[in-house]
A and B are shown apart, each in its own frame.
Chain A
Amino acid sequence: MSYFGDIYKGIKTLLSGMSVTGKVFLNNKNNAITQQYPDNRETLKMFDRFRGEVVMPHNENNEHRCTGCQKCEIACPNGTIEIIWDRQVDPETGKKKKMIDQHIYHLGMCTMCGLCIEACPTDAILWAQNYENSVFDRTSLTKVLNQPGSKIMPGVED
């Protein structure tokens, strides 16, 4: 191809490419595609299946659903969950029953694979949708999921 033909073709393709960018520039003035974080902190809501961190919901009587079966601990691939448990006398039946003392969750080690929540037979642990997990001290990433003084909900068996 001739020298001037090359120049003509080059400018033509350049302009047709710029027509694409020009359209995007003009059309997207009012709706930015990127998240305006942290300005939209108040309105930003994650999807309801989003894997933020593992939590253990408690009801108003400070009762949870964890029976201490340790299935989540076994399912976890990297030792994120540790359960400290004991056999205590159940006041209702008078028999000894396995009860959790502490359900320890190391958020810093968690890979968010979701196997613990799949394994839980009583739906005691769930995903929370919070996403701001950066802290200054890594010891605060180790959490005890059951609240102090909490008990197992009556009627929950595995």
Chain B
Amino acid sequence: MDTNSANSNLKSEDYFINMGPQHPATHGVLRLLLTIDGEIIKKVEPDLGYIHRSIEKMCERDSYQQIVHLTDRMDYLSSHINNEAVCLTVENALELEVPERVKVIRTIIGELTRIASHCLWWGVMGMDVGALTTYFYGFRDREMINDIFEETCGARLTMNYNIPGGLMFDIHPNFVKRTKDFVAHFKTKIPEYDKLLTNNVIFQKRMKGVGILSKEDAISFGASGPVARGSGYSCDVRKYHSYSALDKVTFNEALKSDGDSLARYEVRIQEMWESLSIIEQLIDNIPEGEHKIATNAVIKLPKGEFYQKVETARGELGVFIHSTGTKNPYRLKFRSPGFSNLSLLNHIAVGGKIGDLVASMATLDLVIPDIDR
């Protein structure tokens, strides 16, 4: 019986359900208000604010050294890159040139962070679409990176290793060896990832053609990172506005033009290979030198507005500082990648099934504290 046609005798009306804030597929406290007709999604409305901690307001209270540790708590999966963004903004404003050693170490740890974030994403995304094994394998490989961080930075997740002017302390003597071990180990693991999940027919059927985002829409929604690159929009900040030691390395920007969930998935797998190649190019020749340069105990930025953007694991993170010449910023704004990427969820999910919503949301790779701040 055809219930969808207009001349059907059966009446149907829209049904409204909540997805979250404690749904396992929302990876945090994101609440989605779904308007559905049967199994077909008619509208998705994200409801934010469950984990809002007013980080931007707290930044106005803190000194420039103290701001850095707050950014750990935004996108906690790429905390080192967030720290780097704030430090680069402050250093640019002070016209401070950090030593080459600092730049190289920042880039290596940043790429390690990206791999760790993608490992976790790969694991939980597999779990979202029903492959539980990927969860354990993703965490197994991420554990090695976490050990590197713990040995060098002292913490596994909220590292706070960057300070304006350099790094808090020099790298641990074991850092180079451990990183090389990890690169060798992980090179054998990405093919396993492909064998286990990418080539699986069930997985491909769930991802192919689901949540299609065109290039034009990606640009107009302000998408960035792997989400935009899965739609063929070349926007890698590392390529176009390179920072730290990224101008010394050669790497390809991962691009796919299909725009569906599988394309976004493949972009991230490709990015892991590219990050490995960046680390390999830098790890053997970390220049000697100081790990920081002295700054004033109280940093005062000159009057003006300063902006710096970096590429986190999720996309473009921008830091905007309006300074009035005091030791605190007058206003500090973060342009977070997750917020723009979430805004297009309604666009790509409408017309699909609820199961497809989970798949397309998993490939957006949302981190809710990054969106709410």
| A→B interface (CB under 8 Å) | 6, 9-10, 13-14, 16-17, 19-21, 24, 33, 46-47, 49-51, 71, 75, 77, 111-115, 118-119, 127
Decide: B140 and A114 in contact? CB cutoff 8 A. no
Q: Chain A nearest CB: distance from B319 CB in Å?
A: 17
**Of A9, A17, A19, A111, which is in contact with the most chain B CB atoms at under 10 Å from its CB?**
A17
Q: Chain A nearest CB: distance from B137 CB in Å?
A: 8
Interface string of B9-28 (1 = CB under 8 A from A): 00000000000000000000
Decide: B133 and A21 in contact? CB cutoff 8 A. yes
Decide: B154 and A20 in contact? CB cutoff 8 A. no
Q: Chain B nearest CB: distance from A156 CB in Å?
A: 19
11 contacts between A and B (CB under 8 A): A6-B201, A10-B201, A14-B201, A16-B195, A17-B196, A49-B153, A51-B155, A113-B66, A114-B154, A114-B160, A119-B297
* Cross-interface CB contact of B196 among A6, A21, A77, A113, cutoff 8 Å: A21
Decide: B199 and A16 in contact? CB cutoff 8 A. yes
Find the B residue at minimum CB distance from A7: B201
Which of chain B's residues have a CB closer than 8 A to the CB of A71? Answer: 297
| B→A interface (CB under 8 Å) | 62, 65-66, 68-70, 133, 137, 140, 143, 147, 150-155, 158, 160, 163, 168-169, 172, 192, 195-197, 199-202, 297
Given contacts A33-B140, A51-B155, A112-B158, contact A17 B168 (CB under 8 A): no
Q: Chain A nearest CB: distance from B294 CB in Å?
A: 12
Given contacts A49-B172, A77-B66, A118-B163, contact A10 B151 (CB under 8 A): no
Q: In the complex, what distance in Å separates the CA atom of A127 from the CA atom of B169? A: 14
Q: In the complex, what distance in Å separates the CA atom of A31 from the CA atom of B307? A: 48
Decide: A114 and B168 in contact? CB cutoff 8 A. yes
Nearest 5 CB-CB pairs, A to B?
A113-B69, A77-B66, A49-B154, A51-B154, A10-B201
Which of chain B's residues have a CB closer than 8 A to the CB of A115? Answer: 65-66, 69, 160
Decide: A77 and B150 in contact? CB cutoff 8 A. no
Which of chain B's residues have a CB closer than 8 A to the CB of A114? Answer: 154, 160, 168
Which of chain A's residues have a CB closer than 8 A to the CB of B196? Answer: 17, 20-21
Q: In the complex, what distance in Å separates the CA atom of A115 from the CA atom of B153? A: 13
Decide: A17 and B197 in contact? CB cutoff 8 A. yes
Main secondary structure of the interface of A (DSSP, over half): helix
Decide: B150 and A50 in contact? CB cutoff 8 A. yes
Q: Chain B nearest CB: distance from A19 CB in Å?
A: 7
Find the A residue at minimum CB distance from B292: A118
9 further interface pairs, Cβ-Cβ under 8 Å (given A14-B200, A33-B140, A77-B66): A13-B199, A13-B201, A21-B133, A33-B143, A49-B169, A50-B150, A51-B154, A113-B69, A119-B297
Given contacts A9-B201, A49-B151, A77-B69, contact A113 B195 (CB under 8 A): no
Decide: B195 and A17 in contact? CB cutoff 8 A. yes
Q: In the complex, what distance in Å separates the CA atom of A127 from the CA atom of B153? A: 12
Given contacts A49-B152, A112-B155, contact A77 B195 (CB under 8 A): no
Q: In the complex, what distance in Å separates the CA atom of A94 from the CA atom of B16? A: 79
Find the B residue at minimum CB distance from A46: B150
Which of chain A's residues have a CB closer than 8 A to the CB of B192? Answer: 20
Q: In the complex, what distance in Å separates the CA atom of A17 from the CA atom of B172? A: 38
Q: Chain A nearest CB: distance from B364 CB in Å?
A: 25
Q: In the complex, what distance in Å separates the CA atom of A13 from the CA atom of B152? A: 40
Q: Chain B nearest CB: distance from A21 CB in Å?
A: 6
Q: In the complex, what distance in Å separates the CA atom of A14 from the CA atom of B197? A: 9
Find the B residue at minimum CB distance from A14: B200
Which of chain A's residues have a CB closer than 8 A to the CB of B66? Answer: 75, 77, 113, 115
Given contacts A77-B66, A115-B66, contact A19 B195 (CB under 8 A): yes
Decide: A111 and B69 in contact? CB cutoff 8 A. yes
Q: Chain B nearest CB: distance from A76 CB in Å?
A: 8
Decide: A50 and B201 in contact? CB cutoff 8 A. no
Which of chain B's residues have a CB closer than 8 A to the CB of A17? Answer: 195-197, 199-200
Find the B residue at minimum CB distance from A52: B154
Which of chain A's residues have a CB closer than 8 A to the CB of B168? Answer: 114, 118
